[in-house]
Amino acid sequence: MITLEVRENTKLTPSFSSITLGGPELRHLIPTGFDQAVRLFLPREGQVGLRMPTRNSEAWMAELLLQPKSVRPWVRNFTIRRTRPELGELDIEFAVHGDTPASVLARSARPGDPAGIFDVRVTYLPSAHAE
């Protein structure tokens, strides 16, 4: 579990945003190239701060579900667009549609807002002879 904060929220188009997350804990993320997936943890509306699970195994899900909704963060899967380890930053791009938790974040995130990730690593591994 890696706790981060919003560093920048850039509107790319009317329905597409890029959010830069960063912080000293990002040193624990091992960039594995294209298609690196993460679980993104976001506070729910009205929550003060972000209460991340503490388990760094698949037990995080059980821990999360045992939390009352009043403190349980939203969790969504995303692919990292780019990392800048030397700056302790990564970017995630969002398609903004409706009032989904991720869309609300993409419209409202400000520098300093809390977020967190759990590294899922690369989820798509093409065969060795693929071009």
Residue with tokens 């690369």: 122
What residue spans define the domains of the chain?
2-122
Residue 83: how many other CB atoms lie within 10 Å: 18
Q: What pLDDT is recorded for position 129?
A: 84
- Just give the CATH number of 2-122: 2.40.30.10
Cβ-contact 113, 40 below 8 angstroms: no
Residue with tokens 């409706």: 98
Q: What is the pLDDT along the chain (131 residues), one digit of tens a residue?
A: 999 999 999 999 999 999 999 999 999 998 887 788 999 999 888 887 888 888 777 788 899 999 998 889 999 999 999 999 899 999 999 999 989 988 988 999 999 999 999 988 776 777 788 77
**What whole-number distance in Å separates Cα of residue 97 and Cα of residue 102?**
9
Q: Among 117, 129, 126, which residue's Cα sits nearest to residue 39?
A: 117
pTM of the model: 0.87
